[in-house]
Structure 1
Amino acid sequence: MDEITIFSIRLESLQSLLAKLHGKPISEKEMNRRKDMIGNLRSQANQMANALNMSNLANRDSLLGSEIKPDNTMSQLEQDEGLEKLEETVMSTKHIALAVNEELGLQTRLIDDLDYHVDVTDSRLRRVQKNLAVMNKNMRSGCSCMSMLLSVLGIVGLAVVIYLLVKYL
């Protein structure tokens, strides 16, 4: 009876996921996850059907008088339960691995983007440094030109003053 309850809960979960999907595109990962869920439900349904058939067969055999071996049936049921738990663990591990893989892909893309931005920033920094070097060189040469111009103007001014002094004295 517990298996039937679990089965109905999983079916309700699947139906709610499908209801949320209405009108939205499905990623491949999500589609695979849902296929896995459906496969699990089918497997469990088959196991429950087999268990019910075995139970019905055991009841029929006991009614007809043939002797059944309860130990064999019990050990098979225990094995089935163990296999179901193992299957759930494997599926859970698979989903965790898929999530880790997706996160790893995201982190790789983020690192690639960061690397690209670092390269762009480095290129811009080099251009700015070149421009500053050119401007600094121009400033130094601009200062020497300016000082030469002032010197020439000073000399011309002194020559004019001397000329005026000589002319009026």
Structure 2
Amino acid sequence: MASPDSWMREFNDASKLADEISGMISGRSSLPPSGPETQRHMSATRRKVTILRTKLETLQSLLSKLPNKQSITGKEINRRKDMLTNLSSKADQMAIALNMSSLANRQNLLGPDKKMDDIMSRTADLDNHGLVSFQRQIMKEQDEGLEKLEETVISTKHIALAVNEELDLHAMLLDNLDQHVDSTNSNLQRVQKKLAVLNKRTKGGCSSLILLVIAVVILIIVTWALIKYL
């Protein structure tokens, strides 16, 4: 059978757990955006949030039964209801902050990461309805950011495809140029061989021509001498 004191002890434990979760969420900003350490930290925080919600449900159930089982005034019941409502609101705020932190990688892609302290301050004065609306607004902004990111990715993909086609074209042109260079080199080698053969023939022809010229000169001299002395 639960007593008022036992209910307060349970509430104090839940309050301490909420403070611990708040510190863990605030400490998330000092961790890397991703990695095993960050994942372990987030998993531990989620488990504690689940435990806190279970404690709050238990406290709510016990509080509704206290008037029938214990001597407690209506004013005290209302005071404890207010305490439980405030702690539940704090738990909702931390749940939203945890969701924002879980989406840290996506937020980093979309823009500057939102600090948990800023989120907590923005949700401090909101009731449950306001918290739900705030969370929907954040999710809508993230969805819009994802749409813009998708457009950027598609545009980048098209640019990459165009660059790839351009590279393929340049590769084909280089292959053709290489073939033309090989063909030109082969033609040049054939021409060089022909020039070498022609050079040899030309040298031999020059020698014969010189001998012929010398013979003609000698013949002219002999003929001139014969005519002169005969």
Identify the TM-score tier after normalising by the shorter chain. 0.5 to 0.7
Say which is worse superposed, 156-165 or 100-109, in terms of deviation: 156-165
Q: Which amino acid aligns with 1:109?
A: E
Question: Given the alignment, which residue of 155, 158, 164 partners 2:214?
Answer: 158
1:114 is aligned to 2:170: yes
Q: Deviations over 1:44-84 (max 9, x none)?
A: xxxxxxxxxxxxxxxxxxxxxxxxxx933222211221221
Aligned residue-pair number: 100
1:132 is aligned to 2:188: yes
1:78 is aligned to 2:134: yes
d(CA) in 1 for partners of 2:138 and 2:214? 112
1:89 is aligned to 2:127: no
Aligned to 2:200: 144
Q: Structure 1 regions of 5+ residues with no counterpart?
A: 1-69
Q: Deviations over 1:4-39 (max 9, x none)?
A: xxxxxxxxxxxxxxxxxxxxxxxxxxxxxxxxxxxx
d(CA) in 2 for partners of 1:152 and 1:85? 99
Q: Structure 2 regions of 5+ residues with no counterpart?
A: 1-125, 226-230
Larger RCO (alpha carbons 8 Å, 6+ apart) = 2
- Residue 127 of structure 2 aligns to a residue whose secondary structure is helix
Please provide the CA RMSD for this pair: 2.0
Q: Which amino acid aligns with 1:89?
A: G
Larger Rg: 2
Q: Which amino acid aligns with 2:218?
A: I
| Runs of 4+ deviating beyond 6 Å | none
d(CA) in 1 for partners of 2:185 and 2:195? 15
Q: Which amino acid aligns with 2:151?
A: H
Q: Which amino acid aligns with 2:144?
A: E
Structure-2-length-normalised TM-score = 0.39
State the 1:164 CA deviation: 4.0
- Percentage of pairs with the same residue: 17
State the 1:138 CA deviation: 1.5
